[in-house]
Every structure is written in structure tokens, then in C-alpha cells.
Amino acid sequence: MTDTARIILASGSAIRREILTGADIRFEVMKPDVDEDIIKEAGRVEGLDLETLAMRLAEAKCMDIAAKTDAIVIGSDQIMEFEGRAYDKPADMKAAKARLMEIRGAPHTLINAIAVARNGEVIWRNLDRPTLFTRKLSEAEIDAYLEAAGPEILHSVGAYQIEKLGSRLFERIEGDHFAVLGLSLYPLLDLLRSEEAIAF
């Protein structure tokens, strides 16, 4: 048996592409046309918890693409939670510094939701909540990190990339490494095997 099913990643995320490529998954990328701000505002009005909101976003992304194809479509979303509050990606380096100053020396959670659709309906969902423990960083350390890492870290809700220089900011991480990166790989591989989308 060989990998024959058409798989689409409904995401513009470079790291999610790298995760699937690293697992030797053959896939295409289609960026969904989803207004996340509208979904988040509706979720706020409804009083949704952050896990439900993350899953709603993941479902919206995969369903936007699944409506146009019979392929297996993977949608994912990640929300950072710190002391009960949700955080979006920092708007600029000043906001990134404020984010790191706020979470230094304390744990925070990354809520990672995956929804997979096929033939126009969601067939599978997965939710992970890894917890990350930052070091008690000095302001000078944070400044040095931001200068070295550059604006690329603005693509991360936590203002860091643990797969790169951001690993130096942490004491430890509890939970799935791939969920921290933005796509829980192991349960997703189980799903792809059950759908006979991959050979093993």
C-alpha cells in the first residue's frame, strides 16, 4: 500500500508545513478564506471557552477548503492562554517584548485544535494543551533575544519559536512537542492511517 489520498493543509503556517513534510506526508497547501476576527468576536459574545473557540476556528478553516474538494483537509488553530486570558500574535516588537515580560517566570498554555474534513464534513477533531514554563528572564535577556530572533517571532502567539532560538527562554515544557509548534502530529497520523491516506 502506498500513500494515495489527496491531503490538503488549510493553513499558511510555515511550521505546520514543515511538520508534515518532516513526516514525509504528501500534501498541498490551500490558505482558507476565513475572517478569524469575526469568529473570535462571535465567540466572545457567546461566552465560548477558549478550547471551544480554538476548535471552531480550526473547523472553519478546514470546512472552507473542504467545500471545494473531496480531499482530506486539515485545519488547525492555536490560542495562547495565560492566567485565564487569551492572547493573539503580537502586533510588533514592542508588543512582543511586553508579552515576554508578562509571562516570564510563569507557566502558560497553548491550546492546539485540529479539525479534519472529508467530503464536506468534519470527520475528526483533536485538542491538546501543552504547558510551557518560561525562565525568570531579565529584561536584558529579553532584549537580547528579540534583537537576535528578529520580527519572525511575530508569527508566534507567544513571541517565541521553540524550534529555534526561543528554546533558550524555557525551563521545561509539559505536553506534546508538535502541539507546541502548532500541529499535534501523532494523533493526526493515526487519523490519516485510519482513513488509509498514508501507508504506515
Residues spanned by the domain of 98: 7-194
Q: CA–CA separation, 93 vs 70, rounded Å?
A: 41
The pLDDT of residue 72: 98
| C-alpha–C-alpha distance, residues 34 and 138, integer Å | 38
- Which pLDDT score is estimated for 2? 55
Question: 148 near 130, Cβ under 8 Å?
Answer: no
Above 70 in pLDDT, residue 3? no
pTM of the model: 0.92
The pairing of beta strand 121-128 with beta strand 107-118 = antiparallel
What's the average model confidence in pLDDT over 115-120?
95
pLDDT of residue 1: 46
Determine which one of 77, 88, 128, 176 is catalytic. Answer: 77
CATH of the domain at 58: 3.90.950.10
Whether 16 is covered by a domain: the verdict is: yes
Distance CA 99, CA 89 (A): 10
pLDDT of residue 159: 94
Domain assignment of residue 200, yes or no: no
| Domain presence at residue 199 | no
Whether 143 sits among the annotated catalytic residues: the reply is no
What is the residue-averaged pLDDT of the chain? 95
* Domain assignment present for 2: no
Chain segment 15-67, per-residue pLDDT in tens: 999 999 999 999 999 999 999 999 999 999 999 999 999 999 999 999 999 99
H helix intervals, 2-161: 14-22, 36-46, 50-66, 93-103, 139-149
- pLDDT, tens digit, for every residue of 138-151? 999 999 999 999 99
Examine residue 125 and state whether it is found in any structural domain, yes or no: yes
Tell me the C-alpha distance between 131 and 146, whole Å. Answer: 22
pLDDT of residue 52: 97
For the segment 159-176, the average pLDDT, to the nearest whole number, is: 95
Return the half-sphere exposure (C-beta side, CA atoms, 13 A cut-off) of residue 169: 33
Q: How many domains does the chain have?
A: 1
